[in-house]
Structure 1
Amino acid sequence: MKTIGKRWLFLFLIIPCLSWGQKPLKVKYTKAGIFSLGMRIPFGFSRSYGILNVAQGLGIESRIQLGKHYNTEYYGDYLLSKQGDSAIRSNGHIGASFLLYPQDKLRRVQPFVFAGPDADFEKIHQQTNASNAASRWNFAAHAGLGMHLNISWRSDITLSTAYMLHFGNKIGIGNIAEQPVYLINGTGTDGHLLFTISMNFKIIDLWKKLRW
């Protein structure tokens, strides 16, 4: 996981340097319809059995802007972490966000608030015995704050933090023949804090109102 993280961090440092030579997009009527595509590096923070677990992952995302103050984002990512001292936890998210911008004009730093629904897949398996595992799909929802760092008219680096809450089946630990076993243990809610860094590029105007 550390090697993967270093490779993506290198890309994040190099790509902005290539963006300075990009020509600005000329908006003819409105910003609505701009389609963006990007990559994301999420970090997850959760607590189990009194231990803080830190997850790291990779993902992709796209945006379709609805107007000057509104944007939509669609994403998928996958995170891995240790769960306590003896287990590995993996989470896959497929979700969407509605972004609200308080500013009137596009600026170098552009804050926003966001919220949206998710489908969450979680699997936990014992570190020394992969067959001792349990998994489930749940509905989830998230909300948080973020900001775009607009490094050019066509590209941005986005920092965001959100809390995601899962609703549905929970994975717990049972005992069979005095051995811990991971299994579905009732229903309820649980969640984790997410911090995400992403790099995005404006690709095309789906409403055909931009001139390149």
Structure 2
Amino acid sequence: MKKHSIGFLLLCLPFLAHAQTSPRKGFLRQGGQFSLGVRSTLSTFSHGSWNENGYGAGGQFRLQLNDRINTEWFLDMIRTDIARVAYRNDYHIGWSVMCYLISTKDFKRPVTPYVQAGHCFDWTRIAPNGRRNELQQRGSSAVQAGIGTHFNITPRFDISLSCQYMLHLGKELHAHVEGNEVHIEKHNNAGWEGHLLINVSANYKLLKLWKPRN
């Protein structure tokens, strides 16, 4: 876990260095903006395959630190059908750092693109349909990175689209399907598991938690 955290901090260094190049007054103007939002999620390309897609929903809030750096804190649940004989539920709770590629202009531009990277905790549950007593579950830790953009309907309200690749580290848990039979296997050895996340969210800036410094 320690190596995990160090790697993520190194990943964020270019974002923070880029932010420091902005003029101080404008750089701090948007700091303190607090937003609430709802999100819809598509999970695909799990284990390198496009065959199993998961769909889910959740909520999030954002706390903007300055004109170029925003943070997003989220909670969602994704459900995946496994060959119509089993299901998988994934519960995510995590956060991301968002670095805006251009000046936000107080979010008066039609679009505001960004890159993002973050960390989350995941709880996975897999069970055959109608046989809940055979449920297997595991926890894991993950890092994610990707790109996105805000479509600014007004300076306070946006629709956002993002695409991230999420990489989990935890005990291996998967389902083997043979015809109409499914066997769920859980291994004690740790392994990597990745999938692609596409999120659409609606967000509203509720209030400003602090005023810019002069």
Q: Indicate the TM-score class for this superposition, using the shorter chain for normalisation.
A: 0.7 to 0.9
Structure 2: where are the runs of 5+ without partners?
Answer: 1-25
Which is richer in helix? 2
Q: Distance in 1 between matches of 2:131 and 2:50?
A: 21
Other-structure match for 1:204: 207
Q: Contact 1:124 / 1:182 at 8 angstroms: preserved in 2?
A: yes
Offset of residue 117 of structure 1: 0.5
Structure 1: where are the runs of 5+ without partners?
Answer: 1-26
CA deviation string 1:178-208 (max 9, x = no partner): x854242132001111100000000010004
CA deviation string 1:55-77 (max 9, x = no partner): 11110000010111110000000
TM-score (norm 1): 0.78
Q: Distance in 1 between matches of 2:31 and 2:200?
A: 24
Other-structure match for 2:147: 145
Counterpart secondary structure, 1:103:
coil
Other-structure match for 1:3: none
Which is richer in strand? 1
Other-structure match for 1:165: 167
Matched, 1:136 2:138: yes
Counterpart secondary structure, 1:53:
coil
How much identity, in percent, do the aligned residues show?
A: 34
Q: Contact 2:87 / 2:126 at 8 angstroms: preserved in 1?
A: yes
Aligned residues between the structures = 178
TM-score (norm 2): 0.77
Offset of residue 170 of structure 1: 1.0
Q: Runs of at least 4 residues of structure 1 off by over 3 A?
A: 46-51
Counterpart secondary structure, 2:53:
strand
Change (3 A) 1:154 1:190: same
Q: Contact 1:57 / 1:79 at 8 angstroms: preserved in 2?
A: yes
Change (3 A) 1:183 1:71: same
Change (3 A) 1:166 1:202: same
Aligned pairs for 1:185-204 (under 5 A) are 185=187, 186-204=189-207
Q: Distance in 1 between matches of 2:48 and 2:99?
A: 37
Other-structure match for 1:83: 82
